[in-house]
Amino acid sequence: MATSLPQPLTERDLRLDLFRGIALWLIFLGHIPSNTVSWITIRNYGFSDATEIFVFISGYSAAFVYGRAMQSAGFVIAAARVLKRAWQIYVAHVFLFAIYLAEIAYVAKNFDNPLYTEEMGVLDFMKNPDVTILQALMLKFKPVNMDVLPLYIVLLIWFAPILWLLLRSPTLALLVSAAIYAVMWMFNLNLPGYPSGGWVFNPFAWQLLFVLGAWCALGGAQRLGRWLNSPVLIGCAVLYLVFAFLIALTWYIPRLAVYVPAFVGEAIYPIDKTNLDVLRILHFLSLAVITVYFVPRNWPRLKHPVFWPAIVCGQHSLEIFCLGVFLSFAGHFVFTEVSNRVLTHFVVSLAGIVIMVGAAALLSWYKRVERQPRPPSKQPGFAEGDVR
């Protein structure tokens, strides 16, 4: 029985770190309001954005790490490790929430600009801090730009049963995920938010992309190998990306909208991000097909120094995401209080990415130091750390 189970890949795929690092940069740039540099992000040229990249790669990485643990140590041990990771991310989210609120409140008070609290979605916290903190601990209240981590926490909480099913019947697991997605649309399911509404990233919808990433990690990508390199599929992907680009042009050049047939507009709008519209999934998959074609797993240039900054950020995604949230508000502060010139946008954006890369490099260095064996104590009779 064990030999028939799909085997997780044994070597780390640098493409995951590369594109997760790029996604973190794009998220940072997109989180700064009115940032001119955010025009380079993919959200302006199609239906999907960096969030799809991040969630898909997170599912792929989770299966890569915990799939091997479940096969070697069993369901209970692997599930415990998954929940431990969910707890770590929850703790990081709580710390991020506290420090992020302190940053916003400090700037709003010292620069006498209460609009910051409204723009960042923390006005309810200022009015009712006791209730809002409790709602934040239950992941219902989330300031602007802090919706990704709660989504990741929930996806990890229910990941162990899905992983167990993926290891035994990958197709059935994918069908179960698709069924949850379909039921979500039928009954408009979502988790409740605070003070009203639902989650910005509906977990019942976004789990599909997370599970799809896990399915690819557990052999799905290999099973689709010959299809991914098919000229027909690549041609369809290119055509869809062109279609999405032309539709996106109408968002910024309204006079072009007259060339879009009415039935097309009725069929595609609204393109719902909260519930992960099918058009967004198809756009992401089209990008993935093109990317896999031009950047294969064994592409030697992946180890070129030019890609190292993005790769090192992708290897420390949790820490760099949290840092990016702080930096994005700092950038918004600079644009509002110091200068809103285009040159300032470029300087702030570049400085933020440099800081993110520097922080990731420091974390990598610290990990290497921690892994080095410690030298034995030079004084016989005393263990390291003993005090005479």
Number of domains comprising the chain: 1
Domain assignment of residue 55, yes or no: yes
Please name the residues in contact with 192: beta carbons below 8 A apart, sequence gap of 6 or more.
Answer: 140, 198
In the chain, pLDDT over 70 holds for what percent of residues? Answer: 93
User: Which residue, 378, 323, 316, 309, is CA-closest to 145?
Assistant: 323
Residue 247 CA to residue 24 CA, distance in Å, equals 25
Residue 52 CA to residue 358 CA, distance in Å, equals 25
Q: What is the pLDDT of residues 17-60, one digit of tens each?
A: 999 999 999 999 999 999 999 999 999 999 999 999 999 999 99
- Contact between 344 and 338 under an 8 Å Cβ cutoff? The reply is yes
Query: Is the N-terminal amide bond of 380 cis, ω within 30° of 0?
Result: no
Domain assignment of residue 299, yes or no: yes
Q: What is the pLDDT of residues 326-368, one digit of tens each?
A: 999 999 999 999 999 999 999 999 999 999 999 999 999 999 9
Domain assignment of residue 385, yes or no: no
Strand partners for 198: 192
Residue 385 has what pLDDT? 45
Domain assignment of residue 303, yes or no: yes
Mean pLDDT of the chain: 91
Q: What is the pLDDT of residues 232-244, one digit of tens each?
A: 999 999 999 999 9
In one-letter notation, the amino acid at residue 101 is L
Domain assignment of residue 380, yes or no: no
Domain assignment of residue 376, yes or no: no
Whether the pLDDT of residue 324 is over 50: the answer is yes
Q: Count CA atoms within 13 Å of residue 337 on its CB side.
A: 14
Band of pLDDT at residue 383, cut at 50, 70 and 90? very low
Q: Which of 129-133, 237-241, 289-293, 377-381 has the lowest mean pLDDT?
A: 377-381
197: exposed, middle or buried (C-beta count within 10 Å: 0-12, 13-18, 19+)? Answer: exposed
What's 198's DSSP letter?
Answer: B
Domain assignment of residue 92, yes or no: yes
Whether the pLDDT of residue 311 is over 70: the answer is yes
The secondary structure of 4-66 as a DSSP string is GSPPPPSS--HHHHHHHHHHHHHHHHHHSTT-GGGGGSGGGSSS--HHHHHHHHHHHHHHHHH
Q: Kindly tell me the sign of the dihedral angle through the C-alpha atoms of 189, 192, 197, 202.
A: negative
Residue 169 CA to residue 158 CA, distance in Å, equals 17
Residue 145 CA to residue 134 CA, distance in Å, equals 19
Residue 114 CA to residue 257 CA, distance in Å, equals 38
Domain assignment of residue 377, yes or no: no
Q: Nearest-5° angle of CA 155, CA 44, CA 201?
A: 20
Whether the pLDDT of residue 265 is over 80: the answer is yes
Domain of 337 in residue numbering reads as: 2-369
